[in-house]
Amino acid sequence: MSLAALLSREDLALRQVTGPPADRVAIHWAHTSEMADPYPYLLGGELLLTAGVHIPAAGAGSDFDAYVARIVAAGGAALGFGVAPVHDTVPEALVAACEKHGLPLVEVPPRTTFSGVARAVWQLMAQARLAELRRVSEAQQALAAAASRPDPVPSVLRRLATRLDGRAVLYGPGGAEIAAAGREPGDEVRGALAKLARFVTSRTSTTATDTVAGTRLAAYALGTGGGFALGVAAPQRESGDHTIASVAAVLLSLLTGEHLSGTGAARSSALVRLLLGARPEEVASLLDGGAGTRWHVVHARPDTGRPDPLAASALGAALGSPLVDPSDEVVRILVPAAADTAPAGTGAGPQRGWTLGVSPAVPPAEWATADAQAARALARARATRVPLVRHAARPALADLVPDADAEAHARALLAPVAAVPALTETLRAWLSLHGSWDRTAVALSVHRNTVRQRIARCAALLEADLDDPDVRMELWFALRR
């Protein structure tokens, strides 16, 4: 925190007597000492508080000079001198010594206790830390959102430059400037930033900093192995800037790494073909699994909050697939069945912080069916409060009935409720959860009484006794069709 923030506290009534401007003085903590030589007890960055007990009221100037010199040598940030009970005013010799050594000197009035000053320091530090965490968190979310845009690299650079109030540049192999955003620096700064970027890509160090013409420079080697680097130039360096720039570097590493590997281009080609009318099985060979691969569809919801693009990408990486579709509520992931880390794979388990529903392994032509199966598995997982549910893939008795006959029977049986999707959805969830009102309410995110009312409505429209297990079985078979 800055000394200026402490001086602005009206309840303390502190007054700076001498020294550099308060807004340029950083304080890390407060410490009280009446030792004649505080040097051994200082860590650096302290506001040292003293009442001058160790110095006689008529002390010589040389005593103050040595005292202040030792504080500066120890890295003390400022000196707070308490007026009373030893001294009626701040000694002139102390003022002169602080002026000589450039140490900020603050007068503490009699009514203000040192413990009150220390408490104010901790309070202001806590506020500053909270503000920094909030700033970093907001920047992380903004950068993640930028990375999910159609033009991710320029978007991330623009958002980073705005957050740091400076310039952000992506350098390619050999130091070529690929993309940039923010205010254009002078030639000297621009050349120094490019030089710093070349330095981090040709050395084992992944980060480097410098100051040129009053501008703070930083460069980050991107973890792609292809000579990419992020350069940042800002007029001043604030707390949290390094963390924000590091997040941007990670996102750019993922984005540039995808382009270098060629998988991004292949997936883009698959998407274009699908949009132009190709069937899933015709483009599956362009995806990571290759031709002939069977796939699981995974539906996932975070245990707390809403899924964000960065967390969704991390989940996809954990499951072994970059084919991730984050939305407001559910993240959908297409996972090759051969991926050892997939939750549907042999011996693999749930993912911490997520609830998953997993379809059986299917060929690309059955992706739509698997998507619906994964959705039902997720609903059951949330209702039963388990981290993972897999959709059963074994043949069922209903499979013995010809599809056309089964579908015709289902349409006729469910016709009274089919016009209201909420009724069929509630009936399906309620039957799958063995008639549990509470778990059905959780699965559908509705009130328990709403479930009761809908089921009662279904029973009336169907003219059926839903307590009869034979009726439940027949309705379940129909709903599956």
Full DSSP string of 200-269: HHHSS-SEEEEEETTEEEEEEE-TTSSS-EEEEEESS--TTHHHHHHHHHHHHHHHHHHHHHSHHHHHHH
Q: How far apart (Å, rounded) are the C-alpha atoms in residues 334 and 256?
A: 22
Give percent of the chain above pLDDT 90: 35
Comparison of pLDDT for 144 and 226, the residue scoring more: 144
CATH of the domain at 55: 3.40.1390.20
Confidence of residue 5 (pLDDT cuts 50, 70, 90): very high
Tokens of residue 89, six digits: 């005013």
Q: Is the pLDDT of residue 103 over 60?
A: yes
Asked whether residue 91 is assigned to any structural domain, the reply reads: yes
Comparison of pLDDT for 288 and 188, the residue scoring more: 188
Residue 342 has a pLDDT of 46
Question: How many structural domains does the chain have?
Answer: 4
Confidence of residue 349 (pLDDT cuts 50, 70, 90): low
Q: Is the pLDDT of residue 180 over 70?
A: yes
For residue range 399-421, list pLDDT tens digits in order: 567 767 888 888 999 999 998 98
Range of the domain at 181: 136-261
Asked whether residue 268 is assigned to any structural domain, the reply reads: no
Confidence of residue 68 (pLDDT cuts 50, 70, 90): very high
Domain boundary among 390, 420, 443: 390
Residue 380 has a pLDDT of 83
Asked whether residue 128 is assigned to any structural domain, the reply reads: no
Asked whether residue 75 is assigned to any structural domain, the reply reads: yes
386 and 402 share a domain?
A: no
User: At a CB cut-off of 8 Å and minimum separation 6, what does 273 contact?
Assistant: 282, 283, 286
Q: Is the pLDDT of residue 396 over 70?
A: no
Residue 7 has a pLDDT of 95
Q: How far apart (Å, rounded) are the C-alpha atoms in residues 285 and 283?
A: 5
3-class DSSP state of 13: coil
Residue 72 has a pLDDT of 94
Comparison of pLDDT for 440 and 63, the residue scoring more: 440
Residue 447 has a pLDDT of 92
Asked whether residue 296 is assigned to any structural domain, the reply reads: yes
Confidence of residue 60 (pLDDT cuts 50, 70, 90): very low
102 and 178 share a domain?
A: no
Residue 205 has a pLDDT of 67
Q: State in Å, rounded, how far the first CA of the chain is from the last one.
A: 65
Asked whether residue 129 is assigned to any structural domain, the reply reads: no
Mean predicted confidence (pLDDT) in 30-57: 87
Q: Is the pLDDT of residue 348 over 50?
A: no
Q: How far apart (Å, rounded) are the C-alpha atoms in residues 331 and 393?
A: 22
Give percent of the chain above pLDDT 70: 88
Q: Is the pLDDT of residue 66 over 50?
A: yes
Q: Is the pLDDT of residue 306 over 70?
A: yes
Q: Is the pLDDT of residue 346 over 50?
A: no
CATH of the domain at 457: 1.10.10.2840
For residue range 359-372, list pLDDT tens digits in order: 988 888 888 888 88
148 and 50 share a domain?
A: no
Asked whether residue 253 is assigned to any structural domain, the reply reads: yes
Q: Is the pLDDT of residue 170 over 60?
A: yes
Whether 454 contacts 426, CB under 8 Å: yes
Query: For helices 403-418 and 421-432, what crossing angle results, to 10°?
Result: 110
Residue 338 has a pLDDT of 62
Q: How far apart (Å, rounded) are the C-alpha atoms in residues 391 and 251?
A: 34
Residue 344 has a pLDDT of 43
Residue 450 has a pLDDT of 92
Instruction: Tell me the residue type at 69.
Output: A
Comparison of pLDDT for 159 and 292, the residue scoring more: 159
Residue keyed to tokens 């950068």 = 143
184 and 145 share a domain?
A: yes
For residue range 187-231, list pLDDT tens digits in order: 999 999 999 988 888 776 688 899 998 899 999 988 755 678 899
* Cα–chain center distance at 213: 34
Mean predicted confidence (pLDDT) in 290-305: 82
Residue 310 has a pLDDT of 66
Sign of CA dihedral 466, 469, 470, 472: positive
Mean predicted confidence (pLDDT) in 374-393: 84
Tokens of residue 91, six digits: 């000694």
384 and 417 share a domain?
A: no
434 and 414 share a domain?
A: yes
Mean predicted confidence (pLDDT) in 140-146: 88
